[in-house]
Amino acid sequence: MQSLLSRLTKAVLPTKLKIIVMDTLELIKEQTKKQVTTTISGGEAVLEACLAEGVETIFGYPGGAIMPIYDALYDYKEKLKHILVRHEQGAIHAAQGFARVSGRTGVVFATSGPGATNLVTGLADAMIDSTPVVCITGQVFAHLLGTDAFQETDVINITTPVTKWNYQVTDATEIPTVLAKAFYIAGSGRPGPVLIDITKNAQIQKFEYEGYTKCDHIRSYRPKPIVRKEYVEQAAKLINEAERPFVIFGQGVILGKAEKEFKQFIEKAGIPAAWTIMGMSAIPTGHPLGVGMLGMHGNYGPNVLTNECDVLIAIGMRFDDRVTGRLDKYARQAKVIHLDIDPAEIDKNVKADIPVWGDCKETLPMLTNLVEQKVYPQWLQKFKDYQQKEEEKVIYDELNPTGEVLTMGEVIRVLNELTEGNAVIVTDVGQHQMVACRYAKYNQTKSNITSGGLGTMGFALPAAIGAAYGDPSRTTVAVIGDGGFQMTLQELGTIMQFKPNVKIIILNNQFLGMVRQWQQLFNEKRYSFVDIQSPDFVQVAKGFGIPGKSICKREDLKTSLKEMLESKESFLLEVMVGKENNVFPMVPQGRGVAEIVLSKEEI
Amino acid sequence: MNKQEFTITVYTENQVGLLNRIAIIFSRRKINIESLNTSPTEVDSVHRFTIVINEIEEVVKKLCRQIEKQVEVLKAYYNTEEEIVWQELALYKVSTDAIAEKVKVERLLREYGARAVAIRKDYTVFETTGHREETDNLIKALEPYGLIEFVRSARVAIIKASNSFHDRLKEFEKKEPGEEVIENEYLDKNEEVFTM
């Protein structure tokens, strides 16, 4: 109708008639506008966007420059759950934990200046571990930008290197489209954190709201590369001709929601598969083809045999230096097939003979179709032989110690017995993290939540809070060291107030254990500032209304863990463990993966 | 492999902050940018960066992939000096008296293909384009005659092997026109923001 009238007005008509037509046109425009638009504030538009994106939980902390959004939130209390954390770093780690367990995008609100800068560690963590997070930060009024106003920092430029995308909004009318883009970019392709900085005037500003349309396309952005069939075919050929093929996989399998496709692939091809710390739990840890963890403190077999396989098939992993050790001694004998959604990962660290660009959810089934059904009993036996050796020299004593002091390994063993591999385990960073990831048993995907790439101490407690919201039906256990716990223990306040069910295990060795281990092994035991003292953690928890217990004896271990797990609410269990125990095996820095050692005597 | 000069060509959206996002890809690795030019292409919404660095090809290839990975980047290419035709523009301000008096100067300018773009009573501005050595040489030649000011632009480069870039760009824009860049409209409106 409108276009018809427009055409009419353009046609040669007597001026009078033209005016009438124009008036009608205006009237129609007015009417349609009234039907579909309402006037809302920028702050409301932010919350409408969250609702339209299916967001239920927001982690945040208010402040001056984000007050209009929080004012709007007052009327959305029924529809949006807001978890008030105790520090913005806690908010973003919680959002990460939420995202990693649920597979959905985590959302964070923070104010300008210090509120926003406190997000930086979490953004860097989410960036390097490809976690979808959307952060909304308040900013000073647009006219104050660049004037050193109260709580003004250049958040866009501070966060540019640690975000997949960021954008500053100075006008409310931009909010719906910008947030739609934010959610699309954060969650698509290789996921990552996105930060949207909204000036206070834009949050207050009223505008004609025409509804929210989800974004599914940006002309300059290609979330997934085009799959090149010829590479899939070449990869399949190489796999079919291989005698000792070896699969190594990372979080890409989980992020691509391709666990089933991955399992079908390895089962048909019969190829032993090892996981990176981030890929862990994509297949059950007890899978017959699962041969353990790669990396510096990974398992013996997968590290050594990386340098004996003839075809190395890397899936959704990025050859981190903690996985590869020295690159010039890494899998030189093998032909490398690399499946990744991010073209920038191909050839970044390890040259791929066959690059299979694409989402592994698409490429894996194509590959499965082309590979022959096979088994490699002798090759698999090699992994088992190394496993046996590792069992004898390291694992047995770590899990079944006879000495007086408890070991971290036995805590995880007993935890496995009680949870039967069904819990989500969130770890911090350090020795306890390596032990937990080495020995934890998992039956289902998205169970191992840890700060892999950035190694952020203080990650676990807030991430566990987020994880508990990510899937409340599962038991969430945070395993944390005495050092890392003291970095973000303020989040006990969040647990106190909002009551997510988080089981906290502190493995206390009265040291910053991993640094101490390195100082012992490589710095002639010059223990430089690793003797960290701790408060009475049980008393601290009590102060936050969280029940707790501290144990140091083996006979108390199982009953206490049971008590913790059976508790209806959050519970803190401190376990005193051996002070100077080391994590082995280990690929010492500057060595190749095959030079992995099982004890300190071998270094 | 030895370091050599590479010219990186990047097509991007026109967005505030994108320059920084691209620049930090180099600074993060402590790579010096020798020359950087950015301006709109024949399509207003698309910008073209020309970046010159000295590096080994392996590193440059990875840099281009990192650049292309940015959400608002359309395409990134890298080329060696042999694969491009490039120019830099230079402006020279000299005393008008000096050229009027000394025939030598005039001959010099003609020799370097310089062209007067502004002639005032007290000074004249000449322009020349060419490679770095060429514009450098004219500085040296003019110095004895009282060169007052000199400025040189960043490099612009055409890729010898490029194929229908223009048509593809036009078609790309036609298929889906770019969004207009939104700038801060409030920097000079102190009071207005409170009455919104």
Q: Three-class SS string for A427-453?
A: ECCCHHHHHHHHHCCCCCCCCEEECCC
Is the same domain home to A487 and A540?
Answer: yes
**What are the start-end ranges of the H helices in A325-359?**
none
Is the same domain home to A308 and A420?
Answer: no
Domain ends where: B59, B83, B107? B83
Is the same domain home to A183 and A288?
Answer: no
pLDDT of A9 reads 45
In a domain, A412, yes or no: yes
- Which residue is closest to B72 within chain A, CA to CA? A220
Is the same domain home to B77 and B14?
Answer: yes
Is the same domain home to A416 and A472?
Answer: yes
Domain ends where: B26, B52, B83? B83
Classify A146 in phi/psi space as left (phi over 0), alpha (psi -120 to 50) or beta: left
In a domain, B169, yes or no: no
Alpha-carbon gap, residue A97 to A120, rounded angstroms = 16
* Tally of domains within chain B: 2
Is the same domain home to B79 and B89?
Answer: no
Shortest Cα–Cα distance, B180 to chain A (Å): 12
* Residue among A161, A205, A344 whose CB faces B28 most closely: A161
Alpha-carbon gap, residue A599 to A577, rounded angstroms = 19
Give the CATH number, domain containing residue B46. Answer: 3.30.70.260
In a domain, A171, yes or no: yes
In a domain, B46, yes or no: yes
Return the active site residues of A: 88, 150-151, 200, 514
Domain ends where: A335, A350, A381? A381
Domain ends where: B83, B101, B127? B83
Cβ(A279)–Cβ(A253) under 8 Å?
Answer: yes
Is the same domain home to B73 and B126?
Answer: no
Is the same domain home to B8 and B79?
Answer: yes
In a domain, B188, yes or no: no
In a domain, B133, yes or no: yes
Alpha-carbon gap, residue A48 to A396, rounded angstroms = 55
- Which residue is closest to A186 within chain B, CA to CA? B71
Is the same domain home to B69 and B112?
Answer: no
ipTM of the complex: 0.94
Nearest-CA neighbor of A58 among A118, A110, A128, A113?
A110
Q: Do B28 and A174 touch (CB under 8 A)?
A: no
In a domain, A601, yes or no: no
Can you give the pLDDT of all 196 residues of chain B as single tens digits? 799 999 999 999 999 999 999 999 999 999 999 999 999 999 999 999 999 999 999 999 999 999 999 999 999 999 999 999 999 999 999 998 888 777 787 888 889 999 999 999 999 999 999 999 999 999 999 998 889 999 999 999 999 999 999 999 999 999 999 999 999 999 988 776 565 5
In a domain, B106, yes or no: yes
Is the same domain home to B39 and B96?
Answer: no
Q: Do A142 and B185 touch (CB under 8 A)?
A: yes
pLDDT of A1 reads 40
Q: Do B24 and A161 touch (CB under 8 A)?
A: yes
Alpha-carbon gap, residue A240 to A243, rounded angstroms = 8
A531 at interface of B, judged by CB pairs closer than 8 A: no
In a domain, A589, yes or no: no
* Residue among B61, B72, B185 whose CB faces A171 most closely: B185
Domain with B8 in it: 4-83
Is the same domain home to B134 and B91?
Answer: yes
Number of C-alpha atoms within 13 angstroms, CB side, residue B68? 20
pTM of the model: 0.94
Is the same domain home to A322 and A372?
Answer: yes
Tell me how crowded residue A567 is: count the other CB atoms within 10 A of its CB.
Answer: 14
Is the same domain home to A356 and A428?
Answer: no
pLDDT of A357 reads 96
In a domain, B195, yes or no: no
Is the same domain home to B74 and B124?
Answer: no
Is the same domain home to A255 and A267?
Answer: yes
A369 at interface of B, judged by CB pairs closer than 8 A: no
In a domain, B168, yes or no: no
**What are the start-end ranges of the H helices in A11-131?**
15-36, 42-52, 67-73, 88-102, 114-117, 120-128
Sheet-wide strand order for A571-576: A448-450, A424-427, A476-481, A502-508, A571-576, A548-551
- For chain A, 603 residues long, the average pLDDT of each consecutive 10-residue run is 44 51 57 70 98 98 98 97 98 98 98 98 98 98 96 98 98 98 98 98 97 97 96 98 98 98 98 98 98 98 98 98 97 98 97 98 98 98 98 98 97 98 98 98 98 98 98 98 98 98 98 98 97 98 98 98 98 98 96 96 92
pLDDT of A12 reads 47
Is the same domain home to A299 and A406?
Answer: no
Alpha-carbon gap, residue A316 to A359, rounded angstroms = 9
Q: Do A220 and B74 touch (CB under 8 A)?
A: yes
Domain with A453 in it: 400-583
In a domain, A221, yes or no: no
Is the same domain home to B64 and B91?
Answer: no
Q: Which residues of A touch B16 (CB under 8 A)?
A: 168
Is the same domain home to A377 and A489?
Answer: no
Shortest Cα–Cα distance, A220 to chain B (Å): 5
Is the same domain home to B20 and B78?
Answer: yes
Give the CATH number, domain containing residue A61. Answer: 3.40.50.970
Q: Do B186 and A201 touch (CB under 8 A)?
A: yes
In a domain, A592, yes or no: no
Is the same domain home to B74 and B134?
Answer: no
Is the same domain home to B10 and B55?
Answer: yes
* Residue among A143, A157, A168 whose CB faces B193 most closely: A143
What are the residues whose beta carbons fall under 8 Å from the beta carbon of A506, sequence distance 6 or more?
A: A480, A481, A482, A485, A537, A572, A573, A574, A575
pLDDT of A223 reads 97
pLDDT of B105 reads 79
Give the CATH number, domain containing residue B106. Answer: 3.30.70.1150
- Write out pLDDT tens, residues A503-521: 999 999 999 999 999 999 9
Token pair 């739990």: residue:
A281
Is the same domain home to A344 and A459?
Answer: no
Q: What string of H, E and C letters represents the secondary structure of A210-230?
A: CCCCCCCCECCECCCCCCCHH
Domain ends where: A209, A241, A256? A209
What are B's interface residues with A at a Cβ cutoff of 8 A? 12-13, 16-17, 20-21, 24, 28, 61-62, 65-66, 68-69, 71-74, 172, 176, 178, 182, 184-190, 192-193, 196
pLDDT of B104 reads 80
In a domain, A215, yes or no: no
Domain ends where: A381, A412, A429? A381
Number of C-alpha atoms within 13 angstroms, CB side, residue A443? 8
What are the residues whose beta carbons fall under 8 Å from the beta carbon of A297, sequence distance 6 or more?
A: A434, A437, A438, A583, A584, A585, A586, A587
Is the same domain home to A361 and A440?
Answer: no
Is the same domain home to A31 and A45?
Answer: no
**What are the start-end ranges of the H helices in A458-498?**
460-470, 482-485, 492-498
* Tally of domains within chain A: 4
In a domain, B115, yes or no: yes
